[in-house]
């Protein structure tokens, strides 16, 4: 079983600015905030999207736009008991197969018997572009220098996974080059390489129109294509006397949204999802232990 956790900081959606339209003058001539003004949303997450002045934004049809917090949930499907397999040596046939269409070319349309794995390698597909510097914080050291600046140590792996490398490759006065998601045993040819420039800034606005800035960052990934790092030749064969002895595939997709880390109703809410003993096994990995 695999649990996928997604966190969203509600502060990023909370209004922290006070527009001039909610400021009034009291009887003493002081400028105060009219908290009853409909454009006053400070400390709240509006039900509908608003602009920097607190006015509700309308779509092309003149309707209000619902202010939602979207979270991508990746569902994993597990197929169980699909048949009985064996590890017998796979011996491909070299002669023309019965029912094979005329003009069939194994080089183009399928696996060629006896061809080595190198035959299927393709040229790498390079994907590059520009992004923000949000990944830079994942590769910095927990220590700081005497001036309080972040330390980036080349070769320091900041990943919690023993097989993955997240860390700085090199650093100079102009830029920092680092890798995210690289194979620990093959850092050079795997992962996504980022280059963040220390003295070049970009300015933009967030969803509420507030000014934000980040360091210019380029990325490049050379992981596309089939190569020695992601391609192998293997085959699974079935025992002929068991061909037809299969079970209906079972698909398990369990989604539970935990809306807080200190929710006193959390376990009760999870128990409400239990409908059978199979559900107990499904939720056993950390939530329910009986």
193 closest CA partner among 274, 144, 129: 129
CB of 44 closer than 8 Å to CB of 213: no
Q: For the CA atoms of 153, 158, 162, 164, what is the dihedral angle to 10 degrees?
A: -90
**Top-confidence residue, 260 or 269:** 269
Does the structure show a pLDDT above 70 at 255? no
Task: Round the average pLDDT of the chain to a whole number and report it.
Answer: 75
The pLDDT confidence band at residue 80, using thresholds 50, 70 and 90, is very low
CB-based burial label for 180 (10 Å; 0-12, 13-18, 19+): buried
Does the structure show a pLDDT above 80 at 7? no
**Top-confidence residue, 237 or 179:** 179
**Top-confidence residue, 8 or 66:** 66
Q: What is the pLDDT of residues 22-38, one digit of tens each?
A: 888 888 888 888 889 98
Q: What is the pLDDT of residues 192-221, one digit of tens each?
A: 999 999 888 888 887 788 888 889 999 998
Tell me, what's the pLDDT at 197? 93
Which DSSP string corresponds to the chain? ---------GGGGS-----GGGEEE-TTS-EEE-TTSTT--TTS--SB-B-TTSPBPB-TTSPBPB------------------EE-PPP----SPPTTPPTT--HHHHSPPTT--GGGG--PPPPEEEEE-SGGGGGSS-S-B-TTS-B---BT----SSTTEEEEEEEE-SSEEEEEEEEETTBTTTSSEEEEEEEEEEEEEE-TTS-EEEEEEEEEEE---S--TTT------EE-GGGTT----------------SS-TTHHHHHHTT--SHHHHHHTTTTT---
Q: What is the pLDDT of residues 148-171, one digit of tens each?
A: 888 898 999 999 888 899 999 999
Which DSSP string corresponds to 264-278? TTHHHHHHTT--SHH
Tell me, what's the pLDDT at 101? 56
């Amino acid at each position: 079983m695999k649990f996928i956790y997604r966190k969203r900081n509600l502060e990023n959606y909370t209004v922290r600015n006070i527009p001039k339209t909610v400021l009034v003058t009291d009887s003493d001539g002081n400028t105060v905030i009219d908290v009853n003004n409909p454009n006053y949303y400070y400390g709240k997450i509006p039900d509908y999207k608003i602009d920097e002045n607190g006015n509700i934004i309308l779509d092309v049809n003149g309707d209000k736009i619902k202010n939602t917090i979207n979270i991508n949930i990746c569902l994993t499907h597990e197929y169980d008991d699909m048949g009985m397999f064996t590890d017998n040596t796979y011996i491909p046939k070299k002669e023309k197969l019965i029912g094979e269409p005329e003009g069939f070319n194994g080089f183009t349309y399928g696996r060629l018997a006896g061809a080595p794995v190198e035959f299927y390698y393709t040229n790498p597909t390079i994907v590059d572009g520009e992004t923000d510097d949000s990944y830079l914080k994942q590769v910095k050291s927990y220590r700081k220098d005497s001036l309080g600046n972040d330390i980036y140590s080349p070769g320091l792996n900041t990943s919690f996974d023993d097989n993955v490398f997240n860390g700085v490759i090199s650093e100079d006065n102009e830029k920092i080059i680092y890798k995210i998601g690289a194979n620990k045993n093959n850092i050079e040819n795997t992962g996504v390489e980022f280059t963040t420039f220390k003295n070049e800034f970009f300015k933009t606005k967030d969803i509420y129109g507030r000014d934000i800035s980040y360091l210019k960052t380029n990325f490049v990934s050379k992981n596309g294509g089939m190569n020695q790092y992601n391609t192998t030749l293997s085959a699974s064969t079935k025992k002929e006397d068991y061909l037809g002895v299969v079970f209906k595939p079972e698909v398990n997709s369990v989604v539970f949204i935990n809306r807080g880390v200190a929710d006193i109703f959390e376990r009760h809410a999870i128990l409400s999802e239990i409908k059978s003993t199979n559900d107990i096994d499904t939720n056993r990995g950390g939530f329910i232990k009986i």
